[in-house]
Structure 1
């Protein structure tokens, strides 16, 4: 199978591709994945494991993306949070991903993210203002939206 065809129609990972990990029952493998992603803030670069092997990615991708919600948060309540950031929440796993604290990174992420794999295909925009009377906050919000 050529690389393009295999990428578009991936094969189900087998024991040869997953090594000894495939000897575990699927339920145990999912628990391992959930434990790994639960500790995403304490383990640097934990998501890089998904880039190690196409078969590892295929093993967990459906479970990972099912029930996931995309949220973009813009906050004006604290000087440190005046830039947008992206948060991904998964109903299947207790993981929350945060990051992408500049607008170029947010754009790149939204462009390259596999949105077709998320069930609802919704992106929630969460805007937090410190005061409803402050017209400068509304102006800054309009600038961020453009």
Structure 2
């Protein structure tokens, strides 16, 4: 009987903790979503302040596409943000971007970004890291292909 009572007490305690765990996950997911919304706004505005706000300066951007040359493209987060020069791409109105948070684990999140640009289909994987209570982009890896 004592074992049953202890088991029920333990189960009850765990159930009481579950809402706070779920709430923490939900608030982290919302925070990641906010970072990604800011990141997505940096593109049509070409605003490097927005990019710097969400991309760690010591982060990294790595990409490869045969359509863009044979070399691997790498930049620091700071160099990546500098590429937002205040002048949106000429065909920005035709560019479409969407994202999906595909995984979250403690202080790490992975987001898939789909790019549908005139003449270009691309995929980015963005990894966010939560440090000192703040979610920021740590890395962005991309690939893509030209299309007619």
| TM superposition score normalised by structure 2 | 0.29
Greater helix share, 1 or 2?
A: 1
Larger of the two Rg values belongs to structure: 2
| TM superposition score normalised by structure 1 | 0.30
